[in-house]
Amino acid sequence: MTNWLPDLREGSGPIYIRLADEMEKAIGTGDLAAGSKLPPQRNLAYDIGVTIGTISRAYSLLHERGLVSGEVGRGTYVLSRSESAPHPGHDPVTSSLAGTRPLNTPAGKIRFDSTAAPEIGQSETIASIVSDILTDRAHDVVSYTRGFPEHWQEAGRRWLSYGDWAPQAEAVVPTLGAHAGIMAIISVLTNPGDRIVFEHLTYSQVSRAVGLIGRRISLVDSDRQGVSPDDFERVCVQEHPKIAFFMSSAQNPTLATMPFDHRKAIAEIARRHNVWLIEDNLYGAMNKKEIPLIAAFAPERTFVVDGLSKSVSAGIRGGWVACPAHFAQRVRVAHKMMTGGLPFMLAELAARLVLSGEAENIWNRCRAEINTREALARQTLAGYDFNSNPDIPFLWLKLPDPWLSATFKNAVYTDGVLIDDEDEFKAGRSEKITHRVRLGFSSPVSRQEVDQGLKIVRGLLDSGSAGYDSVA
């Protein structure tokens, strides 16, 4: 084991980045030779006077750069230059945009890093509808989409309706999935430099995408009841955002659901400060709690987004946006500019699934499968702290001491399971640390595979500190 220690007296920025940079420099000069074992995280933290979390993040960063490898029970080792050579398509900018997930999913791993609708045989129904479309609308399938049939909007109106709230069909825009709809809204309502509000932990692919197009991020506090109205007011007063992105029910990844009074307060604050709202109801519609949407309190400034990816089929890319009055045409045009246009086949397929009732039938079967898998997860992980919901295809697991989110993710990866650590969901640079990971259990093809993955997770949780220091 090497006795090398870094010099962190110079430089600026987060200590874990400076530490990773120093270690990368030492690897380049040979001071940390290929094959040498790095100090255990606890030891190095003590030697240089920082927290274990700082060391863990530095080691994780080195792992992401392809400079070290870590195995439970062995330790963290410096790779040789041939082993650590980056893939020809890899670069740091791409990594920052992609988040913490690998760009190409490794083969042979159990996928707990996705929440797509489970496979319950829906392909047979989809194939039948596709066949009908090819017969009925052969010319439209091979051409560009020139118009938006009214039944596409009617399908969106039905799918977006929630409790007593329902949009007008003419206010609905079909989109290439929920994400594309969200980005179309943001491109319409903001300019480069404008601020958009996100929770510290959220669906961060949107926050990374808005950064890519030059928008700035404002972070708002939240708790078990979702967004804090008081802190949202503070952000509005101090930072003057243009839009806020919220998931009012079954928030991803925390599963928090805003109570009635919080939703009403958020709507009032947004109106008072002239802030637009995007309400992502992708998981909320699956939750069936029937608390009124924020849109019910502020219909003049709230865009509601939903789609088929979690409840019917992610591959169809079917989604819809319900817009405030007079905004549907703008969002439709922006969506075309952002995506290149909506494929006729996908839009027609999504509409027919909804209008025929087949989307609801598939969702009921998916929900039954999710219910069974969530019950299996609760049974296997009994005794540990986690948030779950029978209708939602993931859980938010609190890690016992001394596990950290990134180190646990790497340890589980070594044992054959892909999960998401908390950094995957950070909308911006946040000092809030939860020591949690998200386990999505809808993508494995069978319950047996779900059971196998859960048992691997349970085994690592039960191992405590036995494998902790050796995880990069």
Phi, psi angle pair for 419, to nearest 5°? -130, 175
Bridge-partner residues for 302, per DSSP? 277
pLDDT value, residue 472: 39
Residue 386 has pLDDT above 90, yes or no: yes
Average pLDDT over the chain reads 90
Task: Out of 12-21, 252-261, 318-327, pick the least confident.
Answer: 12-21
Residue 106 has pLDDT above 50, yes or no: yes
Cis peptide before 253 (omega within 30 of 0): yes
- Ramachandran class of 67: left when φ > 0, alpha when ψ lies in -120 to 50, beta otherwise: alpha
Count of CB atoms within 10 A of residue 362's CB? 21
188-233 tens-digit pLDDT:
999 999 999 999 999 999 999 999 999 999 999 999 999 999 999 9
Query: Any long-range contacts for 90-95 (C-beta under 8 Å, 24+ apart)?
Result: 90/66, 95/64
Task: Out of 36-40, 149-153, 318-322, 438-442, pick the least confident.
Answer: 36-40
Q: Give the N- to C-terminal CA distance of the chain in Å, as an integer.
A: 15
pLDDT value, residue 3: 73
26-68 tens-digit pLDDT:
888 888 888 888 888 888 888 888 888 888 888 888 887 778 8
pLDDT grade for 24, boundaries at 50, 70 and 90: confident
pLDDT value, residue 471: 41
pLDDT value, residue 74: 64
Q: How far apart are CA 465 and CA 280, in angstroms?
A: 39
Length of the chain: 472
Residue 153 has pLDDT above 60, yes or no: yes
Average pLDDT, stretch 402-424?
A: 92
Task: Out of 6-15, 194-203, 252-261, 364-373, pick the least confident.
Answer: 6-15
Q: How far apart are CA 406 and CA 124, in angstroms?
A: 39
Task: Out of 39-53, 144-158, 357-371, 415-429, pick the least confident.
Answer: 39-53
Amino acid letter for position 95: S
pLDDT value, residue 32: 87
Residue 95 has pLDDT above 80, yes or no: no
Amino acid letter for position 433: I
Residue 457 has pLDDT above 50, yes or no: yes
Most confident of 94-103, 104-113, 214-223: 214-223
Amino acid letter for position 116: A
Residue 289 has pLDDT above 90, yes or no: no
Phi, psi angle pair for 7, to nearest 5°? -110, 105
- Residues 24-45 as b or e (16 or more Cβ within 10 Å = b): bebbeeeebeeebebbbbeebb
Query: Any long-range contacts for 326-329 (C-beta under 8 Å, 24+ apart)?
Result: 327/171, 327/188, 327/303, 328/170, 328/171, 328/172, 328/173
pLDDT value, residue 88: 46
Please state, for a pLDDT cut of 90, what percent of the chain lies above it.
Answer: 69
pLDDT value, residue 76: 84
